[in-house]
């Protein structure tokens, strides 16, 4: 009888851990999706509030901004949302790994981008996110957001005409740390590093 009870307790602990990981997966998906919806509409403060106090942001090789308030400053330096502006980021294809502790996680995402300024420019693009998350006071927060732009192209010209060079800086706002990777987008070739090993072979890609 004692052995049966011990086995049941062990099984319950395993199931409880699996349920918690599944719950964390859903919460991280909602967290990242919320970031995308807020950024799309220029809700910079709402987006910044999703970050951990010491969270970091790095996009398009522009350097690393450290801390929630620096992330907020970066976002506020982007063009304001309004009439004639389209700034959509559709976040897709998540690969999420929650640490067994249930307190940290990493995820890879693909985002499809539409950007337009009425009568000025229209572009589409794609980026890969390699992000980290941390649970703070029971809520998941973004600990690191790193966006690798893989291509930006003029919409009217098409992808076959080549890409737009990456914008390497934000006017009037210097990063806290230099870029972690030196790369260029399409037509150059760059594979953003994976945080995880191959799920079948166990090899690091």
Residues for the chain: how many in total? 205
Does 119 map to a domain?
yes
What pLDDT, on the 0 to 100 scale, is given for residue 18? 76
What pLDDT, on the 0 to 100 scale, is given for residue 171? 82
Does 63 map to a domain?
yes
Residues 74-79: what's their mean pLDDT? Answer: 94
Does 40 map to a domain?
yes
Residue 159: phi and psi, rounded to 5, are: -65, -30
What pLDDT, on the 0 to 100 scale, is given for residue 8? 66
Residue 102: phi and psi, rounded to 5, are: 75, 10
What pLDDT, on the 0 to 100 scale, is given for residue 22? 85
Alpha-carbon distance of 89 to 110, in angstroms, equals 10
| All residues at 6 or more sequence positions from 115 whose CB lies less than 8 Å from its CB, including other chains | 86, 87, 88, 121, 122, 123, 124, 125
Does 174 map to a domain?
no
Neighbours of 47 (CB within 10 A): 23
Lowest mean pLDDT among 16-25, 107-116, 167-176: 16-25
What pLDDT, on the 0 to 100 scale, is given for residue 4? 67
| Domain span including residue 130 | 2-161
Instruction: Report CA 137 to chain centroid distance, whole Å.
Output: 21
Residues 142-154: what's their mean pLDDT? Answer: 96
What pLDDT, on the 0 to 100 scale, is given for residue 17? 75
Per-residue tokens: 172? 């009037």
* The total number of structural domains that make up the chain: 1
Alpha-carbon distance of 186 to 191, in angstroms, equals 11
Does 117 map to a domain?
yes
Residues 76-97: what's their mean pLDDT? Answer: 94
Does 155 map to a domain?
yes
Does 73 map to a domain?
yes
Tell me the CATH number at 69. Answer: 3.10.450.50
Percent over 70 (pLDDT), the chain: 95
Contact criterion met (CB below 8 Å) for 141 and 51: yes
Alpha-carbon distance of 163 to 156, in angstroms, equals 12
What pLDDT, on the 0 to 100 scale, is given for residue 1? 72
Does 97 map to a domain?
yes
Alpha-carbon distance of 20 to 153, in angstroms, equals 41
What pLDDT, on the 0 to 100 scale, is given for residue 123? 94
Per-residue tokens: 116? 């337009």
Per-residue tokens: 2? 């004692």
pLDDT digit string, tens, across residues 97-146: 999 989 999 999 999 999 999 999 999 999 999 999 999 999 999 999 99
151 pLDDT more than 70: yes
Buried b / exposed e over 21-41, threshold 16 CB at 10 Å, is beebbebbbebbebbbebbbe
């Amino acid at each position: 009888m004692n052995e049966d009870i011990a086995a049941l307790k062990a099984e319950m602990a395993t199931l409880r851990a699996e349920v918690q990981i599944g719950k964390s997966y859903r919460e991280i998906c909602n967290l990242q999706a919320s970031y995308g919806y807020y950024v799309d509409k220029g809700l910079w403060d709402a987006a910044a509030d999703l970050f951990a106090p010491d969270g970091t942001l790095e996009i398009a090789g522009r350097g690393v901004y450290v801390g929630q308030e620096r992330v907020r400053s970066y976002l506020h330096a982007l063009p304001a949302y309004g009439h004639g502006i389209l700034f959509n980021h559709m976040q897709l294809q998540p690969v999420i790994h929650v640490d067994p502790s249930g307190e940290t996680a990493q995820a890879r995402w693909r985002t499809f981008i539409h950007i337009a300024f009425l009568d000025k420019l229209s572009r589409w693009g794609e980026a890969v996110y390699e992000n980290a998350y941390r649970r703070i006071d029971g809520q998941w927060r973004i600990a690191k957001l790193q966006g690798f732009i893989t291509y930006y192209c003029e919409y009217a010209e098409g992808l076959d005409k080549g890409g737009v060079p990456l914008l390497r800086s934000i006017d009037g706002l210097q990063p806290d740390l230099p870029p972690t990777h030196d790369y260029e987008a399409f037509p150059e070739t760059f594979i953003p590093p994976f945080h995880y090993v191959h799920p079948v072979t166990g090899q690091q890609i």
